[in-house]
Structures are given as C-alpha cells and as structure tokens.
Structure 1
C-alpha cells in the first residue's frame, strides 16, 4: 500500500514538473501580447495588471494591459485588433452576442463564434447609485427615472439595459437613458442632472475607494427588494449579491443587497503553433501562480475557483488551454488532498450591415455599421 501511494505521488510530481517547467522565462520564446480590460479606475484593469505580472511574466510573455470602455468593446478588439490575445468579458455581454448570432445576425456570429473561454473568474457587483436625498430606497423604483447606463460598448450598458428590460418588461426610454462614463455619471448625479447611475465593478471598486469623502457622503446605493415582482423577473439572468460594508469601511454602515454578473477571461480559437504554445504556457503559469494572485492581486482573486464548470449552448472553452488547466487543477487538488489541506480558494440613428436601422441591442454590442 505504501509503495502504491509513493508511486502515485511520484507520478503526480512528474506531471506537475512537466506542466510547470515551461513557465520559466528562460524556457519561453519572446511573446508580446495585449489584454483588453476596462476603465482606468475599474476592477478589470487591475485584474489585467495582475495577470500580466503574476501569470504572463513568469511564462515569458510581455502582456500589455489596455484600458477600454468595457466588455462589448473588448469582444470587438479581441476579435479584430492585432496583438490582442486576451480579453475580460461579462457573461451577459457574451450571452447577448451568442443570442444575436443564434437569431440570425451575421455580424454577431462572425464576431462571437471564433471566441473561446479560458475560465470564469469572479462575480461583479451591479451598483445602483442615487443621491442621499433621493426618495428611492430599492432598485425596483428606478422605472421612468433619468439613468446613466454606461458608455456604449461597455458591459455596464448591457447589464443596465438588460436588467431594466427584465424588471419592467420594456427598454429604458431613449429620453431617460444617458451614456456616461462612471466618473461623469457620479458627477451628473451629484449635481442633479440624472436620478440614477448604474455601475458594474468588482468590490472594492477604486471608483469609490478613491473618491473624495465629501462627495461620497452625498450618494448611496439602492437595495434589492427580494419580495418585489421586478426582483423575481431579474433573477432570470442575474444572481443575488451583497455589497459589503467591509469593502468601503469609511463610508458604508451596512451591507447592501444587489445583483451580480460573472466575469470571464476570453481568447480566440488560435491554431498557429507558436500562439498555441504561448497560451499553454500562460495556462500552466496561471495554475502554478494562482496562490500569488490570491495573495498579492486584487481582492476579487480570492473568489476565483480553480475549476471549469459546464457551459451553455454557444459557449466553448479553448481546448489547448482547457486540457492544461484541467490537468494542473487535478494535480493541485491531489497534492492538497494528500497533504490534508483544503483547496484555496439617447442615441443617433445608425445603420446595420444590410442598411436597416440598428436595434438598441446592436448598438450596445457595437455591431452597427459593420
């Protein structure tokens, strides 16, 4: 029995050495890649910086971190911009492209079908921000209010529009929707140009932690009312979450229930040998350096699990990376089990491709004029 156990451990150690040997910079060919993330003061850009430092660099990959408006822009750049090999994308944005492709939209199909997932990351909280003097208390009270839904091309715009449609059975009226950046939305809110600012960001979000305390004191978050029928309808796509007072200890006095959306790390279905090899090394390094991400990276890394769950129709993992990650995840789990430890864990009219007016959904996904 002892010999069998030792032999199994030796085999696992050999597998781990094989998987991780290529993460050494000396063993890796030079590769200069880009990852598209999100706004300068958002969570995505910090996650991209963590991946560049703790994953790409040990794998011999120079990963440039690019800011962006958000998820829809990231999908477009991932698909069409040279050098962009990785992107961070919200699950509802990815699903919106899949749905439009399945409904017959050729541009959406051309954009999304070659894209592949590396792995799910963490849940991003959806913030519904109002002024302190607002009579609104809960999210289901935002109907017919003037709302900043985020920049066109951002994941926030997709989430805000989808949530509103789910809750109230209609799109946000054009005269009530403003497409502002997060910073501009909060400024417009404070000076009473809008009633609600919707922002998607993983907590703690620098947008709020870096904000002047005097300005913070003028705003607050709306809560989910679990008993409202609008909340029941929102659950079709989004999941309950909590904005923790501990994320903003000098501001929030209590936890705030809200909605959440999943973030994914996305790539393309590459088949060139060098690119495949580089992304395999990236995967090996992601697994080998996961503890560093959790210890030194953004607090959201502590919510990431080393697993590849089943996917919905139209979603696929990138197979070369999927195989490496599954092997490495299994090795880590076996080593931890052997050691007796737990796993760490309004809008101008645009034209669609065939000359017809663009739909609101096509506009948000940057599919107009293709």
Structure 2
C-alpha cells in the first residue's frame, strides 16, 4: 500500500515520539547489577529477589533504580568483576572478600582495594557431598579420589587447598574437577565423580535434587584438623547441618559456615549504595519467601563483613539505624 505524504509524515512523527519516549524512560531509570552464582546454588535465587526488591523500592533523585541479578562464577570471579568495575555489586563469601581486599590466597600480590561491603547476608554452609556407597567417610578418604572444588572462580578452590593441607595432602593427591554445583552432582549420580565441595546456603538446590534420587552422605568436618584450618581461615565457624536438611540425611552433621557479604566497589555513588542497602534491610521478610536463608538476613548482623571497609552509603544507613556509631 502506498502512503500519502500526510500518512508518511504521521508515521515518522509517531516513530520519533516513540524513540523520544523510550529515551525519556531510560533517563528516568538508573541501572544496578548484582552478580550472583550458578543457578544450582543459593546466591542466584536470593540475588533475583534482591533485584526485584530494589527495582520496586529504591530510587535516587527521582530516578527508579532498575536492578538485575546475573548468574556468575561466584565469590572469586565476583570480586574480580567488582575490581574491574564491570558490575555494581556482587555476592562474595567473607573469607574471599578479605583475601581479595588484602591481596592474600588466590589474590596474592594483587589486592583489590576498591571493594566496599554493603552488608552481611547469611551463613553459607560447607557441604562435602558424596554418594552413601562411595566408601568415603572423612577428608582422609579423598586421597586418590576425584572431587570438584566448584566452577573456576568459586571460593571452594582455596578451601579445598586448606582442607587437604591440614589432612597432610595436596592437590597432587586427588583428581580435581572444576564443575558447577549442578554439574558436579550430576557427575556423582553417574559415577563419574566421587565427591564435591559446596559452600552455599542450605538447603542447596543442587544437593536437594541429588538427594531425591540417590542416597547421599555429608562428610563431617570437625576435630583437630579443622581447628587448625580455622587458625588459617578465621572466617569459618563451627556449625551443624541440621538433620533432615536433605532426604535421607537423618542425623546432624558437624561442619563449617562462612558469611556471605553483599559487596560493591568504591565508584558506586553514596546515595545509590544508601538506597539499595535500605531496600534490603527494611524488607528482609520478603527475602525469606524465595529461600529459607533469606530469613537469616538481619540488620543485627549486617556489619559482620570482616576487614573490608563498609561503603559510605551503607554506613550512613547503618548509623541511622543505630547499629554503628
């Protein structure tokens, strides 16, 4: 159909108006990213709910903050993303945050000094998972066996190093696999992997799925060797994995836990950091709706972030609430 000049002019005017409207909408929004972890862990669902919370509750100077959660490589990779300012915020385990800021462990000689904590989230439980029929009853039994320390960039890599060391072993004594939580448990199901080390909020989706079809065993982490590890890794606390966290796991298991910390970089504006921090800690009940660990996010523990500095925007909010002087 051939358009008259009036129809063509009207079409051009409509298109221009639509483009202008889209541009105006973009100007009314401020974008804020949250790097999480793999889809089989706890970072991902909680990050998604946090992004939704921020998008619904937070604004700066009349602009809505539009937040998105992104699947990522977890703690080590997330710290590097922040160091490069490739994303505004990320979930990072407290031990990795400390190592990254101070240039130790996997960050030896390369500290990331622009890291700033927004607030502590919840305890991540260390879970050494294997099949019940694998003949593995302790860390010592891993010698000569295959084990996943998580996808490249996860915090489990350093933890496995330290675990092996206190038990008189090194990586040369095992067959290491670098699979995500979901990939690792699938390999264990198929008999292609003996064990996996998972540090995440419980229940962890990948482990729950595994327990539905296979008898699992959670290897205890306690005793003199673990006490020695805690001297090197003071961010790890003794905890018990409650009985029946997973199908078939009828007894509580001694293990470790480390705090997850929501972290930003120092170029995130103070008013933005203030608003997103406020959005989280004034709506923590909503976080518990997507995962039980969301119920453990609390203003009372928000400043338990280790030695990395707290972002000035988050600090302003904590001072207003009276938890920091």
Alignment of 1:1-370 (within 5 A): 30-59=29-58, 60-82=64-86, 84-100=87-103, 108-109=110-111, 112-165=112-165, 167-169=166-168, 171-173=170-172, 176-211=175-210, 213-214=212-213, 216-217=214-215, 219-226=216-223, 229-236=224-231, 237=233, 238-248=236-246, 250-270=247-267, 275-294=269-288, 296-307=289-300, 308-309=302-303, 312-313=306-307, 315-328=308-321
TM-score (norm 2): 0.79
Could you tell me the TM-score, scaled by structure 1's length? 0.70
CA distance in 2, matches of 1:174, 1:137: 17
- CA shift, 1:136, in A, is 2.4
Cα distance change on mapping 1:162 and 1:276 into 2, 3 Å: same
Q: How much does 1:161 deviate?
A: 2.4
Alpha carbons of 1:71 and 1:188: their partners in 2 closer, same or farther (altered >3 Å)? same
Q: CA deviation at 1:99?
A: 4.2
C-alpha displacement at 1:87, in angstroms? Answer: 0.3
Stretches of structure 2 that go unaligned for 5 or more consecutive residues are 1-26, 59-63
Aligned Cα root-mean-square deviation (Å): 2.8
How many residues are paired up?
289
Q: Give the match's secondary structure for 1:321.
A: helix
Q: Is the 8 A contact 2:144 2:173 kept in 1?
A: no
- Quote the offset at 1:290 in angstroms: 2.5
Which sections of structure 1, spanning at least 5 residues, go unmatched?
1-27, 332-370
Residues 327/254 of structure 1: CA separation in 2 closer, same or farther (3 Å cut):
same
Residue 242 (structure 1) shift? 1.8
Q: For residues 324-363 of structure 1, give each alpha carbon's deviation from its aligned partner in whole angstroms, at most 9, with x where no partner exists.
A: 12313559xxxxxxxxxxxxxxxxxxxxxxxxxxxxxxxx
Cα distance in 2 for residues equivalent to 1:306 and 1:31? 25
Question: For the Cα contact (< 8 Å) 1:138–1:225, is it kept in 2?
Answer: no
Structure-2 separation of matches of 1:97 and 1:174: 27
